[in-house]
Amino acid sequence: MDGKERKTSKKSEAGKWSASWFFNWVINSRFAIAMLVILLISLIILVLSKMRWIFSPLTIVLNTIALPVIIAGVFYYILNPLVDWAEKKYHIKRSLIVTIVFIVLALFIAWGIGSLIPVVQSQTQDLLANWPDYWAKLENFVVGLFSADGLKDLQSKLSTVNTDLGEIFKPSKAVNFLPKSLNSIGSIISRVTSVIIAIVTAPLILFYLLKDGHGLPDYLVGFLPNRYRLSVKDIFKNMNSQLSNYIRGQLGVAFFVAVLFWIGYMIIGLRFALLLGIIAGLLNLIPYLGSFLAMVPAIAVGLFTSPFMLVKVLIVFVIEQILEGRLISPLILGNSMKFHPLTVLFVLLVSGKIFGLVGVILGVPGYAVIKVVVSTYFDWFKRSHPDLYVTEHTSLHDISSDEEEQ
Protein backbone atom coordinates (compact mmCIF):
# COMPACT_ATOMS: atom_id res chain seq x y z
CA MET A 1 0.00 0.00 0.00
CA ASP A 2 2.82 2.36 0.79
CA GLY A 3 4.31 1.87 -2.68
CA LYS A 4 0.95 2.44 -4.39
CA GLU A 5 0.33 5.52 -2.30
CA ARG A 6 3.75 6.89 -3.24
CA LYS A 7 3.05 6.27 -6.96
CA THR A 8 -0.36 7.88 -6.62
CA SER A 9 1.09 10.89 -4.84
CA LYS A 10 3.82 11.23 -7.49
CA LYS A 11 1.22 11.09 -10.28
CA SER A 12 -0.90 13.70 -8.53
CA GLU A 13 2.13 15.94 -8.06
CA ALA A 14 3.07 15.46 -11.73
CA GLY A 15 -0.49 16.30 -12.73
CA LYS A 16 -0.46 19.41 -10.59
CA TRP A 17 2.93 20.37 -12.06
CA SER A 18 1.76 19.90 -15.65
CA ALA A 19 -1.37 21.92 -14.89
CA SER A 20 0.49 24.76 -13.20
CA TRP A 21 0.78 28.16 -14.82
CA PHE A 22 4.60 27.98 -14.80
CA PHE A 23 4.57 24.78 -16.85
CA ASN A 24 1.98 26.04 -19.33
CA TRP A 25 3.34 29.54 -19.79
CA VAL A 26 7.09 28.94 -19.46
CA ILE A 27 8.22 25.33 -19.78
CA ASN A 28 5.63 24.28 -22.37
CA SER A 29 5.56 27.58 -24.28
CA ARG A 30 7.54 27.90 -27.49
CA PHE A 31 7.32 31.67 -27.24
CA ALA A 32 8.91 31.69 -23.78
CA ILE A 33 11.58 29.25 -24.94
CA ALA A 34 12.26 31.46 -27.96
CA MET A 35 12.59 34.50 -25.71
CA LEU A 36 15.00 32.60 -23.46
CA VAL A 37 17.06 31.60 -26.50
CA ILE A 38 17.15 35.23 -27.66
CA LEU A 39 18.22 36.29 -24.16
CA LEU A 40 21.01 33.72 -24.12
CA ILE A 41 22.16 34.79 -27.58
CA SER A 42 22.18 38.43 -26.44
CA LEU A 43 24.27 37.52 -23.40
CA ILE A 44 26.70 35.60 -25.61
CA ILE A 45 26.99 38.60 -27.93
CA LEU A 46 27.59 40.87 -24.94
CA VAL A 47 30.35 38.62 -23.66
CA LEU A 48 31.95 38.30 -27.08
CA SER A 49 31.83 42.09 -27.55
CA LYS A 50 34.17 42.35 -24.58
CA MET A 51 36.58 39.98 -26.35
CA ARG A 52 36.84 41.70 -29.73
CA TRP A 53 40.47 40.69 -30.17
CA ILE A 54 39.28 37.15 -30.90
CA PHE A 55 37.54 38.37 -34.06
CA SER A 56 40.35 40.57 -35.36
CA PRO A 57 41.43 37.99 -38.02
CA LEU A 58 37.82 37.62 -39.16
CA THR A 59 37.45 41.42 -39.28
CA ILE A 60 40.51 41.68 -41.51
CA VAL A 61 39.09 39.05 -43.87
CA LEU A 62 35.68 40.74 -44.01
CA ASN A 63 37.23 44.16 -44.63
CA THR A 64 39.19 42.64 -47.51
CA ILE A 65 36.34 40.84 -49.26
CA ALA A 66 33.40 43.11 -48.38
CA LEU A 67 34.03 45.78 -51.02
CA PRO A 68 34.53 43.47 -54.04
CA VAL A 69 31.58 41.29 -52.99
CA ILE A 70 29.29 44.34 -52.66
CA ILE A 71 30.41 45.72 -56.03
CA ALA A 72 29.95 42.34 -57.71
CA GLY A 73 26.57 41.88 -56.04
CA VAL A 74 25.27 45.25 -57.25
CA PHE A 75 26.35 44.58 -60.85
CA TYR A 76 24.93 41.05 -60.60
CA TYR A 77 21.44 42.35 -59.83
CA ILE A 78 21.74 44.85 -62.69
CA LEU A 79 23.04 42.44 -65.35
CA ASN A 80 21.42 39.15 -64.35
CA PRO A 81 17.99 39.93 -65.92
CA LEU A 82 19.75 40.71 -69.21
CA VAL A 83 21.70 37.44 -69.10
CA ASP A 84 18.56 35.44 -68.25
CA TRP A 85 16.63 37.07 -71.11
CA ALA A 86 19.39 36.41 -73.66
CA GLU A 87 19.75 32.80 -72.51
CA LYS A 88 16.02 32.11 -72.90
CA LYS A 89 15.65 33.96 -76.22
CA TYR A 90 18.77 32.82 -78.13
CA HIS A 91 19.48 29.49 -76.35
CA ILE A 92 23.20 30.24 -76.08
CA LYS A 93 25.53 28.95 -73.40
CA ARG A 94 25.37 31.14 -70.35
CA SER A 95 29.15 31.51 -70.14
CA LEU A 96 29.25 32.90 -73.70
CA ILE A 97 26.49 35.41 -72.92
CA VAL A 98 28.32 36.54 -69.79
CA THR A 99 31.51 37.00 -71.81
CA ILE A 100 29.69 39.16 -74.39
CA VAL A 101 28.11 41.22 -71.60
CA PHE A 102 31.55 41.76 -70.05
CA ILE A 103 32.98 42.96 -73.37
CA VAL A 104 30.11 45.44 -73.87
CA LEU A 105 30.43 46.62 -70.28
CA ALA A 106 34.19 47.13 -70.68
CA LEU A 107 33.62 49.18 -73.86
CA PHE A 108 31.01 51.28 -72.07
CA ILE A 109 33.35 51.92 -69.13
CA ALA A 110 36.17 52.84 -71.53
CA TRP A 111 33.86 55.31 -73.29
CA GLY A 112 32.87 56.82 -69.94
CA ILE A 113 36.49 57.19 -68.87
CA GLY A 114 37.42 58.80 -72.18
CA SER A 115 34.48 61.22 -72.48
CA LEU A 116 32.84 61.85 -69.10
CA ILE A 117 35.73 61.60 -66.65
CA PRO A 118 37.72 64.57 -68.05
CA VAL A 119 34.64 66.82 -67.90
CA VAL A 120 33.75 65.68 -64.38
CA GLN A 121 37.35 66.07 -63.24
CA SER A 122 37.56 69.62 -64.62
CA GLN A 123 34.25 70.64 -63.03
CA THR A 124 35.26 69.06 -59.72
CA GLN A 125 38.52 71.01 -59.61
CA ASP A 126 36.75 74.27 -60.42
CA LEU A 127 34.03 73.63 -57.82
CA LEU A 128 36.56 72.82 -55.09
CA ALA A 129 38.66 75.87 -55.97
CA ASN A 130 35.65 78.20 -55.76
CA TRP A 131 33.77 76.45 -52.96
CA PRO A 132 34.96 78.76 -50.15
CA ASP A 133 33.45 81.72 -52.02
CA TYR A 134 30.22 79.84 -52.70
CA TRP A 135 29.90 78.79 -49.07
CA ALA A 136 30.69 82.29 -47.82
CA LYS A 137 27.90 83.67 -50.00
CA LEU A 138 25.51 81.02 -48.69
CA GLU A 139 26.59 81.76 -45.13
CA ASN A 140 25.94 85.48 -45.52
CA PHE A 141 22.53 84.71 -46.98
CA VAL A 142 21.59 82.40 -44.10
CA VAL A 143 22.97 84.84 -41.50
CA GLY A 144 20.85 87.55 -43.09
CA LEU A 145 17.77 85.39 -42.65
CA PHE A 146 18.67 84.62 -39.02
CA SER A 147 19.90 88.03 -37.97
CA ALA A 148 18.11 88.09 -34.62
CA ASP A 149 20.19 88.41 -31.46
CA GLY A 150 18.99 85.04 -30.20
CA LEU A 151 20.58 83.30 -33.18
CA LYS A 152 24.12 84.57 -32.80
CA ASP A 153 25.30 81.10 -31.83
CA LEU A 154 24.13 79.84 -35.22
CA GLN A 155 26.03 82.65 -36.93
CA SER A 156 29.25 81.79 -35.09
CA LYS A 157 28.87 78.10 -35.93
CA LEU A 158 28.35 78.92 -39.61
CA SER A 159 31.44 81.10 -39.55
CA THR A 160 33.46 78.27 -38.01
CA VAL A 161 32.18 75.79 -40.59
CA ASN A 162 33.00 78.21 -43.39
CA THR A 163 36.54 78.71 -42.08
CA ASP A 164 37.11 74.95 -41.81
CA LEU A 165 35.73 74.26 -45.28
CA GLY A 166 37.78 77.09 -46.73
CA GLU A 167 40.94 75.59 -45.27
CA ILE A 168 40.04 72.11 -46.54
CA PHE A 169 39.21 73.12 -50.10
CA LYS A 170 42.12 75.46 -50.65
CA PRO A 171 44.29 73.97 -53.40
CA SER A 172 47.39 74.39 -51.27
CA LYS A 173 45.74 72.61 -48.33
CA ALA A 174 43.91 69.83 -50.15
CA VAL A 175 46.99 67.69 -50.54
CA ASN A 176 47.86 67.93 -46.85
CA PHE A 177 44.33 67.32 -45.61
CA LEU A 178 44.01 63.70 -46.72
CA PRO A 179 47.13 62.36 -44.96
CA LYS A 180 46.08 64.11 -41.77
CA SER A 181 42.63 62.53 -41.89
CA LEU A 182 44.08 59.08 -42.44
CA ASN A 183 46.67 59.60 -39.68
CA SER A 184 49.50 57.69 -41.33
CA ILE A 185 50.99 56.64 -44.63
CA GLY A 186 50.38 53.02 -43.71
CA SER A 187 46.63 53.53 -43.63
CA ILE A 188 46.77 55.21 -47.05
CA ILE A 189 48.64 52.24 -48.49
CA SER A 190 46.14 49.86 -46.88
CA ARG A 191 43.17 51.70 -48.37
CA VAL A 192 44.75 51.90 -51.81
CA THR A 193 45.54 48.19 -51.64
CA SER A 194 41.94 47.39 -50.70
CA VAL A 195 40.64 49.41 -53.64
CA ILE A 196 43.05 47.70 -56.05
CA ILE A 197 42.04 44.27 -54.73
CA ALA A 198 38.37 45.20 -55.14
CA ILE A 199 38.90 46.42 -58.72
CA VAL A 200 40.78 43.23 -59.66
CA THR A 201 38.60 40.66 -57.87
CA ALA A 202 35.13 42.18 -58.33
CA PRO A 203 34.94 41.31 -62.08
CA LEU A 204 35.97 37.71 -61.33
CA ILE A 205 33.33 37.37 -58.62
CA LEU A 206 30.76 38.96 -60.93
CA PHE A 207 31.60 36.58 -63.78
CA TYR A 208 31.03 33.46 -61.70
CA LEU A 209 27.92 34.93 -60.05
CA LEU A 210 26.36 35.55 -63.46
CA LYS A 211 27.47 32.14 -64.69
CA ASP A 212 26.61 29.94 -61.68
CA GLY A 213 24.62 32.21 -59.36
CA HIS A 214 21.34 30.37 -59.89
CA GLY A 215 22.75 27.25 -58.30
CA LEU A 216 24.13 29.02 -55.23
CA PRO A 217 21.01 28.61 -53.00
CA ASP A 218 20.84 24.86 -53.73
CA TYR A 219 24.54 24.53 -52.92
CA LEU A 220 24.20 26.36 -49.60
CA VAL A 221 21.10 24.49 -48.40
CA GLY A 222 22.86 21.23 -49.23
CA PHE A 223 24.77 21.58 -45.96
CA LEU A 224 21.52 21.61 -43.94
CA PRO A 225 19.34 18.69 -42.80
CA ASN A 226 16.59 17.73 -45.21
CA ARG A 227 13.77 19.03 -42.98
CA TYR A 228 15.14 22.59 -43.10
CA ARG A 229 16.17 22.81 -46.75
CA LEU A 230 12.85 23.87 -48.24
CA SER A 231 12.15 26.60 -45.69
CA VAL A 232 15.70 27.99 -45.85
CA LYS A 233 15.56 27.97 -49.63
CA ASP A 234 12.35 30.00 -49.46
CA ILE A 235 14.13 32.48 -47.19
CA PHE A 236 16.96 32.81 -49.71
CA LYS A 237 14.42 33.31 -52.48
CA ASN A 238 12.64 36.10 -50.58
CA MET A 239 15.95 37.74 -49.68
CA ASN A 240 17.03 37.68 -53.31
CA SER A 241 13.71 39.18 -54.38
CA GLN A 242 13.91 41.99 -51.82
CA LEU A 243 17.53 42.85 -52.62
CA SER A 244 17.03 42.73 -56.38
CA ASN A 245 13.95 44.97 -56.21
CA TYR A 246 15.71 47.47 -53.97
CA ILE A 247 19.02 47.64 -55.86
CA ARG A 248 17.50 47.81 -59.35
CA GLY A 249 14.84 50.25 -58.20
CA GLN A 250 17.15 52.61 -56.33
CA LEU A 251 19.80 52.62 -59.06
CA GLY A 252 17.16 53.19 -61.72
CA VAL A 253 15.62 56.09 -59.82
CA ALA A 254 19.09 57.53 -59.07
CA PHE A 255 19.99 57.42 -62.78
CA PHE A 256 16.86 59.27 -63.86
CA VAL A 257 17.24 61.78 -61.02
CA ALA A 258 20.80 62.52 -62.17
CA VAL A 259 19.60 62.98 -65.77
CA LEU A 260 16.71 65.23 -64.70
CA PHE A 261 18.93 67.49 -62.60
CA TRP A 262 21.58 67.60 -65.32
CA ILE A 263 19.06 68.59 -68.00
CA GLY A 264 17.36 71.09 -65.68
CA TYR A 265 20.62 72.75 -64.68
CA MET A 266 21.72 72.93 -68.31
CA ILE A 267 18.44 74.59 -69.32
CA ILE A 268 18.74 77.31 -66.68
CA GLY A 269 22.47 77.77 -67.39
CA LEU A 270 23.85 76.73 -63.98
CA ARG A 271 27.57 76.05 -63.74
CA PHE A 272 28.80 72.50 -63.04
CA ALA A 273 25.52 71.04 -64.37
CA LEU A 274 26.96 67.58 -65.10
CA LEU A 275 28.81 67.32 -61.77
CA LEU A 276 25.83 68.53 -59.74
CA GLY A 277 23.57 66.07 -61.57
CA ILE A 278 25.91 63.17 -60.77
CA ILE A 279 26.08 64.27 -57.13
CA ALA A 280 22.28 64.38 -56.99
CA GLY A 281 22.04 60.86 -58.45
CA LEU A 282 24.58 59.42 -56.01
CA LEU A 283 23.01 61.08 -52.97
CA ASN A 284 19.59 59.88 -54.10
CA LEU A 285 20.72 56.40 -53.03
CA ILE A 286 20.01 57.70 -49.51
CA PRO A 287 16.20 57.38 -49.26
CA TYR A 288 14.18 60.57 -48.62
CA LEU A 289 17.22 62.66 -47.63
CA GLY A 290 19.47 62.35 -50.67
CA SER A 291 17.76 64.87 -52.95
CA PHE A 292 17.69 67.53 -50.22
CA LEU A 293 21.38 67.00 -49.45
CA ALA A 294 22.17 67.29 -53.17
CA MET A 295 20.51 70.71 -53.23
CA VAL A 296 23.11 72.26 -50.88
CA PRO A 297 25.90 72.68 -53.48
CA ALA A 298 23.39 73.63 -56.19
CA ILE A 299 21.85 76.34 -53.98
CA ALA A 300 25.33 77.64 -53.08
CA VAL A 301 26.37 77.89 -56.75
CA GLY A 302 23.03 79.41 -57.78
CA LEU A 303 23.06 81.97 -54.98
CA PHE A 304 26.63 82.99 -55.84
CA THR A 305 25.60 83.52 -59.48
CA SER A 306 22.50 85.65 -58.81
CA PRO A 307 19.30 85.66 -56.75
CA PHE A 308 17.33 84.95 -59.94
CA MET A 309 19.49 81.87 -60.58
CA LEU A 310 18.69 80.67 -57.06
CA VAL A 311 14.97 80.92 -57.87
CA LYS A 312 15.51 78.89 -61.05
CA VAL A 313 17.44 76.24 -59.10
CA LEU A 314 14.55 75.92 -56.65
CA ILE A 315 12.09 75.62 -59.55
CA VAL A 316 14.19 72.79 -61.03
CA PHE A 317 14.17 71.06 -57.65
CA VAL A 318 10.37 71.32 -57.32
CA ILE A 319 9.83 69.98 -60.86
CA GLU A 320 12.24 67.10 -60.21
CA GLN A 321 10.48 66.17 -56.98
CA ILE A 322 7.10 66.13 -58.72
CA LEU A 323 8.38 63.96 -61.59
CA GLU A 324 10.22 61.62 -59.23
CA GLY A 325 7.31 61.20 -56.82
CA ARG A 326 4.48 60.97 -59.36
CA LEU A 327 6.13 59.28 -62.36
CA ILE A 328 9.63 57.81 -61.92
CA SER A 329 9.37 56.09 -58.54
CA PRO A 330 5.93 54.51 -59.16
CA LEU A 331 7.03 53.18 -62.57
CA ILE A 332 10.40 51.79 -61.45
CA LEU A 333 9.81 50.80 -57.84
CA GLY A 334 6.12 49.92 -58.13
CA ASN A 335 4.75 48.24 -55.00
CA SER A 336 8.00 46.48 -54.10
CA MET A 337 9.59 47.12 -50.71
CA LYS A 338 6.93 49.51 -49.48
CA PHE A 339 8.38 50.58 -46.14
CA HIS A 340 6.83 53.28 -44.02
CA PRO A 341 8.87 56.52 -44.19
CA LEU A 342 9.27 56.57 -40.40
CA THR A 343 10.68 53.03 -40.53
CA VAL A 344 13.17 54.04 -43.21
CA LEU A 345 14.24 57.15 -41.29
CA PHE A 346 14.68 55.11 -38.11
CA VAL A 347 16.79 52.54 -39.98
CA LEU A 348 18.91 55.30 -41.54
CA LEU A 349 19.52 56.97 -38.17
CA VAL A 350 20.48 53.74 -36.39
CA SER A 351 22.59 52.26 -39.19
CA GLY A 352 24.26 55.60 -39.86
CA LYS A 353 25.13 56.01 -36.19
CA ILE A 354 26.63 52.51 -36.00
CA PHE A 355 28.28 52.10 -39.42
CA GLY A 356 28.58 55.65 -40.77
CA LEU A 357 28.07 56.37 -44.47
CA VAL A 358 28.16 52.67 -45.35
CA GLY A 359 25.32 52.08 -42.90
CA VAL A 360 23.26 54.89 -44.44
CA ILE A 361 23.60 53.33 -47.92
CA LEU A 362 23.24 49.67 -46.92
CA GLY A 363 20.90 50.09 -43.95
CA VAL A 364 17.62 49.73 -45.86
CA PRO A 365 18.57 46.58 -47.84
CA GLY A 366 20.00 45.10 -44.64
CA TYR A 367 16.72 45.84 -42.89
CA ALA A 368 14.87 44.14 -45.77
CA VAL A 369 16.93 40.97 -45.32
CA ILE A 370 16.38 40.95 -41.55
CA LYS A 371 12.67 41.54 -42.11
CA VAL A 372 12.47 38.44 -44.33
CA VAL A 373 14.03 36.26 -41.62
CA VAL A 374 11.88 37.70 -38.82
CA SER A 375 8.71 37.46 -40.92
CA THR A 376 9.45 33.81 -41.72
CA TYR A 377 9.92 33.01 -38.04
CA PHE A 378 6.75 34.92 -37.14
CA ASP A 379 4.73 33.01 -39.74
CA TRP A 380 6.03 29.74 -38.30
CA PHE A 381 5.08 30.89 -34.81
CA LYS A 382 1.55 31.80 -35.94
CA ARG A 383 1.14 28.40 -37.54
CA SER A 384 2.35 26.76 -34.33
CA HIS A 385 -0.05 28.81 -32.16
CA PRO A 386 -3.21 29.39 -34.22
CA ASP A 387 -5.23 30.03 -31.09
CA LEU A 388 -3.27 33.20 -30.34
CA TYR A 389 -4.09 35.01 -33.59
CA VAL A 390 -7.26 35.90 -35.46
CA THR A 391 -7.06 34.87 -39.11
CA GLU A 392 -9.07 36.21 -42.01
CA HIS A 393 -11.52 33.31 -41.74
CA THR A 394 -11.92 33.52 -37.96
CA SER A 395 -13.58 36.42 -36.22
CA LEU A 396 -13.36 37.49 -32.60
CA HIS A 397 -17.02 36.53 -32.19
CA ASP A 398 -16.27 32.96 -33.31
CA ILE A 399 -13.42 32.67 -30.83
CA SER A 400 -15.50 34.02 -27.94
CA SER A 401 -18.39 31.67 -28.79
CA ASP A 402 -16.01 28.70 -28.90
CA GLU A 403 -14.64 29.63 -25.49
CA GLU A 404 -18.18 29.89 -24.06
CA GLU A 405 -19.07 26.43 -25.41
CA GLN A 406 -15.96 24.98 -23.77
- 138 and 181 housed in the same domain: yes
Asked if residue 206 and residue 97 are part of one domain, the reply reads: yes
> Can you give the pLDDT at residue 315?
93
3-state secondary structure of 329: helix
Q: Are residues 105 and 136 in the same domain?
A: yes
Structure confidence at residue 146 (pLDDT): 61
Please give the average per-residue pLDDT across 252-273, as a whole number: 91
Identify whether 132 is part of a domain. Answer: yes
pLDDT, tens digit (0-9, with 9 covering 90-100), for 272-303: 889 999 999 988 888 777 778 888 888 888 88
Q: Is residue 126 domain-resident?
A: yes
At 188-214, the pLDDT tens digits run 666 777 778 888 888 899 998 888 888
Domain identity same for 191 and 246? no
Q: Is position 35 within any domain?
A: no
Q: Is the domain of 126 the same as that of 75? A: yes
Q: What is the pLDDT of residues 81-136, one digit of tens each?
A: 999 898 888 888 888 999 999 999 889 888 888 888 888 888 888 888 888 887 87
Residue 157 forms part of a structural domain: yes
What's the pLDDT score for residue 306? Answer: 85
Task: Give the end of a domain, one of 309, 326, 341.
Answer: 341
Q: At what angle do helices 185-212 and 171-182 cross, to 10 degrees?
A: 80
Residue 52 lies in a domain: no
Residues 240 and 98 in one domain: no
Q: What is the pLDDT of residue 139?
A: 75
Same-domain pairing of 208 and 239: no
Neighbours of 20 (CB within 10 A): 12
Domain end position, chosen among 316, 341, 366: 341
* Distance of alpha carbon 96 from alpha carbon 83, whole angstroms: 10
Please determine, for residue 322, whether its predicted confidence score (pLDDT) is greater than 50. yes
- Tell whether 43 is covered by a domain: no
In this structure, the answer to whether residues 70 and 166 fall within a common structural domain is yes
For residue 337, name the pLDDT band (cuts at 50, 70, 90).
low
| Residue 44 included in any domain | no
* Residue 77 sits in the same domain as residue 190: yes
Q: How far apart are CA 366 and CA 246, in angstroms?
A: 11
3-state secondary structure of 395: coil
H-helix segments, 91-225: 94-145, 152-169, 171-182, 185-212, 216-221
Are 107 and 170 found together in one domain? yes
User: In this structure, are 85 and 187 located in the same domain?
Assistant: yes
DSSP state at residue 388: G
Domain of residue 145, residue span = 64-214
Q: How confident is the model at residue 400 (pLDDT cuts 50, 70, 90)?
A: very low
- Of 341, 371, 394, which marks where a domain is finished? 341
167-178 confidence digits (pLDDT tens): 544 544 444 444
Residues 243 and 336: their CA atoms lie apart, in Å, by 10
Least confident window among 8-17, 143-152, 273-282: 8-17
Residue 360 confidence (pLDDT)? 78
Residue 21 within any structural domain of the chain:
no
Q: Are residues 278 and 156 in the same domain?
A: no
d(CA 93, CA 114): 32
Q: Into how many domains does the chain fold?
A: 2
Cα gap 298→272, rounded to integer Å: 9
